[in-house]
Amino acid sequence: MLIQLWNGEIIGASITTDHAASSHGQPVLVLEDGSALGPGDAEGLGIIEATLEELRDLAAGGYSLQGDEG
């Protein structure tokens, strides 16, 4: 997926449970630099491009990103 950071930069990201920051099967949003964000950390980010599956995973993980879903 593509997300827009707070500074306007657009980068790649993924939602996964396969990361050290994931706890008890809860998904985390992993940015292309490898850093992970929890739902509270990701507030204010925008979705530029995401699949339906990614959007479902974000919602299931408690993320509420804004933007151009689809």
Quick one: average pLDDT of 65-69?
Answer: 66
Alpha carbon 37 to chain centroid, angstroms = 7
Q: How many structural domains are present in the chain?
A: 1
- Which structural domain range is residue 28 located in? 2-67
Query: Please, which pLDDT band fits residue 56 given cuts at 50, 70 and 90?
Result: very high
Distance CA 21, CA 47 (A): 21
Per-residue model confidence (pLDDT) at position 25: 85
Could you tell me the pTM of the whole model?
0.85
> Which residue reads 């099967």 in tokens?
25
Q: Enter the tokens of residue 59.
A: 């919602």
Q: Is residue 60 over pLDDT 70?
A: yes
Distance CA 1, CA 55 (A): 9
pLDDT tens digits for range 3-51: 999 999 999 999 999 888 888 888 999 999 999 999 999 998 999 999 9
